[in-house]
Structure 1
């Protein structure tokens, strides 16, 4: 039942916040504020419901070093997406027509903050963490990654390939970032940095959502396998390739740090001990 209660509590706050953000999206400053408030309230709700249902300190959202971890994640996300765009541009499939709007970028800061925090708390903080306890790291990563991709099929310009790409990229890399650190701050920053770079800086589509314009007025053209088509560069093979490399690096770090959880036997799940069933 803790899975149910945690999902319901976090999803309820995230949904309510997303409705407010959508309602004020025409005003960039209200979007920024409402997005930031949504992110903060979602974190508070997660802390509260996990403490109530699991009776433990919420170490995955511990305070010390949180700012540095988020900052590193944001930087990594921006750089990683920048590498994807650079490769698309080298083929002549990304063109900057001029400046977009600074106001649009401001609004996207709030919009992407709310999305990154709520999705990470739901998928990595609740779903992956609890599923991992029963199935181990690898199976939980695959299962929750597939689910994360399927959820994106409901986006306006979604495609099956886009959902598969998201499952590999975000479902893999963001989960691996959590496993490597056992804290949610790095994947939150990475998620936000990637999304904000895509829309707020480079002016491209994000997950087929019909994303508002950011700092640059830019277009992509050419084969969808390179540009991602109407789904955005997340559907590009470049994104799949570079995020897969990121997943590999994070899983290697997790292995070195002894943070991979093996699949437990039935006896271990039931008894909570490391003995096999007779």
Structure 2
């Protein structure tokens, strides 16, 4: 029941924010304001509903240390995308053909902030965290990663491979980042850093949503197997490789810090009971 309460509350903010951003799509300044406001409101609503439904302090979104944790996540996300796009460019799949739009990047900042915050609250803050309590870290990572990938099948230019790539490189990696740090700020920063670097800086497609106006006018060409095609660099094998590597690093940290939740005996028994004899 608490899972449903939390999902509905945060999803309502995400829906209202997306409607508002869509209504002012042509105004980059209003997009920045509405996107940022949606991100802030979503965190407030999440914290409030966790206090109400779980009778505890929402330490995973505590204000103390938030800026530093977000900053670390952003650096990792930007660094990961930079590694991916450099490899794609080296193989001839990406080139810069001049400057893009500062105003476009400003609007994307707000849009990507809202997307990163609401998606992390929903998938890692609620789904992963609560499922992990019942099934353990590894099972929760696999299940919520799969759901995160499947949710991208509704995007324009979506493909099954793109959804699988998102599930592996992002769904698993972002859950592992939360498991390693036990704060949502790092995966929020990582998610935002990747998205904004892709769209706001390099002008690349993000999850099949079309080529945006970023700081650079980037052009992607060549085989979709290399570049990710219309879905964007997230469907590139380079993104999958780097995402898996970061997942391994985060899970190593989680294990070292004692943050890996084992499969509960009751859950193990339920799973065993369903196996054919």
Give the whole-Å Cα distance in 2 for the aligned partners of 1:10 and 1:211: 28
Residue matched to 1:232: 232
- How does the TM-score come out when normalised to structure 1? 0.95
- The 4+ residue runs of structure 1 with deviation greater than 6 A are none
Report the CA distance between 1:132 and its aligned residue: 0.5
User: 1:188 is matched with which residue?
Assistant: 188
Q: Deviations over 1:147-191 (max 9, x none)?
A: 000000000110000000000011011100000000100000000
Structure 2: tracts of 5 or more residues without a match: 270-277
Alignment of 1:247-266 (within 5 A): 247-266=247-266
Give CA deviations for 1:204-233 in whole Å, capped at 9, x if unaligned: 000001252111111111111110000000
RMSD: 1.4
Residues 16-25 or 154-163, more deviating: 16-25
* Number of residues of Structure 1 aligned to a counterpart in Structure 2: 270
Match of 2:51 in 1: 51
Q: Deviations over 1:21-77 (max 9, x none)?
A: 111121111000000000000000000001000000111111111100001111111
SS in 1 for 2:264: coil
- TM-score, normalisation: structure 2: 0.95
Name 2:145's counterpart in structure 1.
Answer: 145
Q: CA deviation at 1:97?
A: 1.1
Alignment partner of 2:183: what SS? coil
Secondary structure of the 1:33 match is helix
* Cα 1:267–1:146 shift into 2, 3 Å: closer
Q: What is the Cα deviation at residue 267 of structure 1?
A: 8.5
Within 2, Cα distance between the matches of 1:175 and 1:195?
A: 17
The CA deviation at 1:103 is 0.4
| CA distances 1:81-124 after superposition (whole Å, capped 9, x unpaired) | 00100000111110111111000000000000000000000000
Distance 1:50 1:86 in 2: 41
Aligned equivalents of 2:81 and 2:268: distance in 1? 41
